[in-house]
């Protein structure tokens, strides 16, 4: 039995869809019963913030897909360390035989935001005695479908300067997780997952324009402007500045490398930006027309 956490997120929904086409038993961990029903699969109620609720969720589970919320700012701490740490403890107590965890590229001690938080979690998982495999994806193409991807008048917001990003489709991240959960185990290995090419924001806009059949304008947002905007919206200044520093790193090329991990795991090429655009064209057209996601 596979337990899928983060089941309602960008990766989790794809993983649920893909597992549904196998004969492997699985269930989703959700906090909200209505969201669980919407998934259309077996689900169990549990909450990372309530460790006592996790033990029943792990009954009969031998494989775990571990994913959770991204970087947050709560009193200078990253809640995901405590939240996903509780899931690791529950998995160890339940005798789970295989864990596939979503981490972040460049996880490192003292790293900014999720980079530091995932480094702590990856070390905690390694020390737990659980057999583990870690996936470290590049930037999600699904971020282009979110409310912060376009201005209200339909301009693509560019945050990475001239830095190329090896964007990956979450469909491929989920496919790699499904392979590792249902196929031969790869304990103790870490895979950096990227798309097949690295594109600048300008190139991304040009490719989107081809998909839409019309020009796509851009609004360039500097790291300093982003930090000021977030602070103006009430985000802690330290969080805003850390996020700005991560964007500076990406602009300098920290997410430019293209790896072979996806084709190595799946036996096929990683999905291209053009394939992602084709699969999500109605939503992208609505955003580029100034509509809501």
Convert the pLDDT of each residue in 56-110 to its tens digit.
Answer: 999 999 999 999 887 676 666 778 899 999 999 999 999 999 999 999 999 999 8
For residue 94, being part of any structural domain is answered with: yes
C-alpha span between 76 and 60 (Å, rounded): 37
For residue 226, being part of any structural domain is answered with: no
Can you tell me the mean pLDDT for 231-237? 83
Contact indicator for 41, 56 with CB cutoff of 8 Å: no
Q: How far is residue 172 from each of residues 39, 141, 258, 282, measured CA to CA in Å? A: 19, 11, 14, 21
C-alpha span between 149 and 278 (Å, rounded): 17
For residue 62, being part of any structural domain is answered with: yes
**What's the chain's average pLDDT?**
93
Q: How confident is the model at residue 229 (pLDDT cuts 50, 70, 90)?
A: confident
Q: Is the pLDDT of residue 292 over 90?
A: no
pLDDT of residue 235: 81
Q: How confident is the model at residue 25 (pLDDT cuts 50, 70, 90)?
A: very high
Nearest CA to 263 out of 187, 164, 197 is that of 197
CATH for 41? 3.40.50.720
Q: Which domain holds residue 14?
A: 2-139+168-194+257-270
pLDDT of residue 269: 98
pLDDT digits (tens, 9 = 90+) for 175-194: 999 999 999 999 999 999 99
pLDDT of residue 76: 63
For residue 58, being part of any structural domain is answered with: yes
For residue 209, being part of any structural domain is answered with: no
C-alpha angle 279-66-48 in degrees, rounded to nearest 5 = 115
113 torsion bin: left (phi>0), alpha (psi -120 to 50), beta (else):
left
pLDDT digits (tens, 9 = 90+) for 98-150: 999 999 999 999 888 889 999 999 999 999 999 999 999 999 999 999 888 99
> How many structural domains is the chain composed of?
1
Reported as half-sphere exposure (CB side, CA atoms, 13 A), residue 276 has a value of 23
Q: Is the pLDDT of residue 22 over 70?
A: yes
Element (H, E) at 30: strand 26-30
For residue 184, being part of any structural domain is answered with: yes
Angle between helices 170-182 and 10-19 (to 10 degrees): 50
pLDDT of residue 147: 82
For residue 10, being part of any structural domain is answered with: yes
Q: Quote the strand ranges of 132-188, DSSP E.
A: 132-137, 156-158
For residue 41, being part of any structural domain is answered with: yes
| pTM assigned to the model | 0.94
Q: Is the pLDDT of residue 227 over 70?
A: yes
Q: Is the pLDDT of residue 237 over 90?
A: no
C-alpha span between 54 and 128 (Å, rounded): 17
169 torsion bin: left (phi>0), alpha (psi -120 to 50), beta (else):
beta
């Amino acid at each position: 039995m596979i337990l899928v956490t983060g089941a309602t997120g960008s990766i989790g929904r794809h993983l649920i869809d893909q597992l549904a086409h196998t004969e492997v038993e699985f269930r989703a961990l959700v906090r909200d019963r209505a969201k669980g029903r919407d998934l259309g699969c077996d689900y169990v109620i549990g909450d990372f913030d309530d460790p006592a609720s996790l033990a029943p969720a792990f009954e009969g589970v031998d494989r775990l897909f571990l994913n959770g919320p991204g970087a947050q700012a709560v009193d200078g701490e990253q809640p995901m360390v405590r939240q996903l740490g509780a899931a690791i403890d529950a998995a160890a107590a339940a005798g789970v035989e295989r864990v596939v965890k979503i981490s972040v590229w460049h996880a490192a001690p003292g790293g900014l935001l999720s980079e530091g938080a995932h480094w702590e979690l990856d070390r905690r998982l390694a020390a737990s005695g659980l057999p583990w495999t870690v996936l470290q994806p590049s930037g999600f193409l699904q971020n282009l479908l979110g409310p912060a991807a376009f201005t209200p008048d339909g301009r693509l917001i560019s945050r990475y300067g001239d830095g190329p990003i090896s964007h990956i489709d979450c469909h491929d991240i989920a496919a790699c997780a499904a392979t590792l959960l249902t196929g031969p185990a790869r304990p103790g290995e870490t895979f950096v997952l990227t798309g097949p090419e690295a594109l600048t924001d300008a190139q991304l806009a040009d490719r989107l324009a081809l998909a839409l059949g019309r020009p796509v304008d851009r609004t360039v947002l500097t790291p300093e402007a982003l930090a000021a905007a977030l602070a103006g919206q009430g985000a802690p200044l330290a969080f805003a500045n850390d996020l700005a520093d991560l964007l500076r790193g990406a602009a300098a090329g920290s997410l430019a490398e293209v790896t072979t991990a996806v084709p190595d795991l799946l036996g096929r090429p990683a999905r291209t930006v053009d394939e992602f655009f084709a699969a999500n064209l109605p939503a992208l057209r609505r955003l580029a027309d100034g509509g809501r996601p």
